[in-house]
Amino acid sequence: MFWASLRPMANTTVQPYLFFDGNCAEAVAFYAKALGAETRIMTFGDSPMATEENKDRVMHASINVGDATIFASDGMPGTPIDSGMRAHISIGTDDVERGRRYFEALSAGGQVTMAYEKQFWGDTYGMLTDRFGVKWMVNANPNPS
């Protein structure tokens, strides 16, 4: 029954998160056209983190293709994007404590780059690099819309 033990937990998603360096909106438009996807984009200008330099950069985008979603961003201001940072893995759950358990387990022996805590958009979120160098983003939204 090995395979039965690999069933995903209810209300948890794992998806790729792609990073670009200033051309995320262009990439999202390209993927939308190429894949027939629906997209949503939030810029840094839509957030309390807006500055004149970053207001047009993409803070978060979603590319919805059928039942799959790919996330994308231009990354945090002041953080250069290199080839090793191009992709992250995003885990989403509707349970804040489940997200905390994921975050703590994945960060063991690794490095927390953003503490797992309540964010301005209402979710609880954190970022880390695990002990193998894989970058993770954990997001908990107990009231998904």
> Is pTM beyond 0.85 here?
no
Q: Are residues 69 and 110 in the same domain?
A: no
Count of the separate structural domains present in the chain: 2
User: Is there a contact between 73 and 19 (Cβ–Cβ < 8 Å)?
Assistant: yes
**Amino acid sitting at position 54:** N
**Domain-embedded: residue 4:** no
Alpha-carbon distance 99 to 126, whole Å?
9
**Domain-embedded: residue 112:** yes
Residue 74 pLDDT greater than 70, yes or no: yes
**Domain-embedded: residue 57:** yes
User: Mean pLDDT lowest for which of 8-12, 28-32, 35-39, 59-63?
Assistant: 8-12
Q: Are residues 78 and 102 in the same domain?
A: no
**Domain-embedded: residue 5:** no
Give me the chain's average pLDDT, please. 85
**Domain-embedded: residue 90:** no
Cβ-proximal residues to 26 (8 Å cutoff; 6+ apart), any chain: none
Alpha-carbon distance 126 to 103, whole Å?
7
Higher-confidence residue of 102 and 80: namely: 102
pLDDT digits (tens, 9 = 90+) for 100-143: 999 999 899 999 999 999 999 899 999 998 886 778 899 999 88
Q: Are residues 114 and 62 in the same domain?
A: no
pLDDT for the residue numbered 145? 65
Domain carrying residue 133: 95-145
